[in-house]
Chain A
């Protein structure tokens, strides 16, 4: 298992390296001179001495390849550089935004697991019932609805109409801002934070709940038709034991992969949800920085996001062994 993990990491290192390097050169060729940004923005005449100072301090007077190697040397020593805009170390920015992203992704994944897997199982067990047909129809449509449409619909219903029409208290939610109080890392610490968290988490999970429900249904139907499930039935096991112990456990593997991938993606790519709900996450921080051409922030945060994604994937891969003892890693 350890050997497998090492091999996997060895495979992804070059991919990460080239991806970040590509971004580095892309930002190097972008119009817009970083010195102007550092000296306080466009439309200003910069004194020659200031320009020289800045160039020397940030190494812009060096050839691009030297800048490139210097950047990677610093990164390997754990220094992601400083923002061109406000001189905050990129690490600080990452530390500020990453927990928010992780929490949002965590709750979205919880919703996916509970609703997605639950609906999928029911749909598979009650195959061809009205409930199953309805699920297929609803999930097909839900899968295709853009997250910002869902987001604004939620905001309109539970953030605006709920207040205008005097809906009961528990149906009213906050529609903007990042929850600030947390207990035990991921639990919203107070009512206010809870009410800020719910809508973005639902919006973010919405499409994937549908995807997972469909996938769960499909894999569940596949396993239910296998010989060992028939054997389990023939042995006289209760229907519950057949479905959960023999069917579900074997059907879970592809679904777990999908959920893992999702969690990895949502950490850094929840840009639209974060924008709709003014939620301070990594994704929208990267986009903001890209619009401002703040290269160190974009590169640094992207690196964090990509590493988190790959780490989650590795964990998911290694967890197969727990779900299915037949899987071995070091053959």
Chain B
């Protein structure tokens, strides 16, 4: 809610925007230097750079998970009894063999946490990709055409925002069955409203600028004005919002799995691991805190990058 407000008030950004669109001939070099400017401003924000590195590491970890850990120890069944000591390898504390210890069925927690990055990132990126697409389309329709279309779309947005999202999520999960695919759809279905609102106000602010008038004067079609002129100039706030939304989506997936309406065993979802760890908090706190730490760090990383992007894209807002 807050980020949305901050962004929507910052939409202005006239100088940089017109810089891109003015002069079609030398567009490429101007844009390149604009990007370099943004990167330069982004780099100044240490926290954002750290966040970006963390995200890069997470993505690498997710891609190369099979090289880091053995798959069977993630999903696979109960590990064998230790023949010498006669003890079960379940609920082992962290050690050299099992960095994060083992859970109550003897699965290596480090392996599960590493594979959990796949689930979180997949859900986060997929859900936000869908919700951003929907939000951008609705935002353009509402902002560009205005009048009845605008009123209709915005009322639907209001209604969708008025519903408590966890109730809606549970209802949708009950209808479509519990699976990762459902969660992505549910999070997408509940996430487009912010994007739609932000993009609408951004479009409204841009559509009365002179370059749009000029484009219309030389006979550009609505479609061309929207796709070539408006969207590239109005998209900045959406980029920031979407980056933050990935963090929110990852959090929501974990929250739903934690509440028992998200991922199902044996999916290595961090939320689900936290849910299982809670009963053993007294004796084996590591079962809860390792996945919790990874979840928290991931969300911190996306938030930091989103904040950094916002400051970098709109220098007027900075301090």
Contacts and interface: CB of A to CB of B under 8 A. Distances in A.
Interface of A: 14-16, 18-19, 22-23, 26-27, 29-32, 137, 140-141, 143-146, 148-149, 152-153, 155-156, 160, 211, 215, 221, 258, 261, 268-269, 271-272, 275-276, 283, 286-287, 290-291, 293, 298, 302, 305-306
Given A18-B155, A19-B159, A160-B285, 18 more contacts: A14-B155, A15-B155, A30-B175, A31-B174, A141-B300, A144-B302, A144-B303, A145-B299, A145-B300, A149-B293, A152-B292, A160-B281, A272-B259, A275-B258, A287-B170, A290-B174, A291-B261, A298-B167
B319 to A, nearest CB: 8
Given A137-B47, A261-B1, A143 B170 contact: no
B174 A155 contact: no
B53 interface: no
Contact of A211 (B2, B155, B285, B299): B2
Interface string B264-293: 000000000010001001100100110011
Interface string B165-181: 01110110011000000
Contacts of A291: 170, 174, 260-261
B162 A16 contact: yes
Which bracket fits the contact residues of B?
35 or more
A154 to B, nearest CB: 11
A305 B2 CA distance: 21
Contacts of A148: 255, 258, 274, 292
A22 B303 CA distance: 32
Contacts of B163: 19, 22-23, 302, 306
B254 A140 contact: no
A268 B167 CA distance: 11
B62 interface: no
A26 B189 CA distance: 14
B255 A15 contact: no
B2 to A, nearest CB: 5
Interface of B: 1-2, 47, 155, 158-159, 162-164, 166-168, 170-171, 174-175, 247, 251, 254-255, 258-261, 274, 278, 281-282, 285, 288-289, 292-293, 295-296, 299-300, 302-304, 307, 319
B259 A23 contact: no
State the main secondary structure of chain A at its contact with B. helix
14 contacts: A14-B155, A16-B162, A30-B175, A145-B299, A146-B254, A146-B255, A152-B281, A153-B292, A160-B282, A258-B1, A286-B167, A290-B170, A298-B167, A302-B164
Nearest to A275: B259
Nearest to A152: B288
Contacts of B278: 152, 276
B5 to A, nearest CB: 8
Contacts of B170: 287, 290-291
A155 B302 CA distance: 27
Contacts of A27: 171
Contact of B296 (A137, A146, A155, A271): A146
A211, A286, A287, A306: which has the most chain B beta carbons within 10 Å?
Answer: A287
A156 B2 contact: no
State the main secondary structure of chain B at its contact with A. helix
A221 B258 CA distance: 39
A144 B296 contact: yes
Nearest to B278: A152
B191 to A, nearest CB: 16
Contact of B164 (A32, A137, A305): A305
Contacts of A22: 159, 163
A267 to B, nearest CB: 10
A149 B296 contact: yes
A215 B6 CA distance: 9
Contact of A272 (B258, B299, B319): B258
B158 A15 contact: yes
Contacts of B261: 291
A145 B296 contact: yes
A153 B277 CA distance: 12
